[in-house]
Amino acid sequence: MHTAAVILAIVLAIVSLSSGGIKLAGATQSLRIRDTLGVSARLWRIIGALEIAGAVGLLAGIGVPVLGIAAAVALALAMIGAVVVHGRAGDLRHAAPAVVVLVVAVATIVTQLKSV
């Protein structure tokens, strides 16, 4: 796997692990975002757990590229969903982090596909 693919996978894994952990821990800022978006507590925890699973998949993908690609695709789809939810809640100005993570996820997919 190319160095760029590994670095992007690690960066995306760290971001996903952090985001998922904050959701599962119930950090005040995270709960405010959840309430603004109108997402249920149960779904918020599921999203957090899936973000953590995505991070694990990205790291496993360093050794087994197909896992990393699948995890990056799943995280990209999750970020598209996040942007949609922000839009529906009339909160697109706070969707920038999801857009940035989406861009990193797509870059991760592209670099990993090139190294397969």
Please give the share of the chain, as a percent, with pLDDT higher than 90. 96
pLDDT attached to residue 43:
97
pLDDT attached to residue 115:
81
Give the predicted TM-score (pTM) of the model. 0.94
pLDDT tens per residue across span 33-90: 999 999 999 999 999 999 999 999 999 999 999 999 999 999 999 999 999 999 999 9
Nearest CA-CA partner of 51 in 72, 20, 27, 8: 20
Quick one: average pLDDT of 81-107?
96
Angle among Cα 28, 88, 35 to the nearest 5 degrees reads 20
Whether residue 1 has pLDDT greater than 80: no
pLDDT attached to residue 116:
78
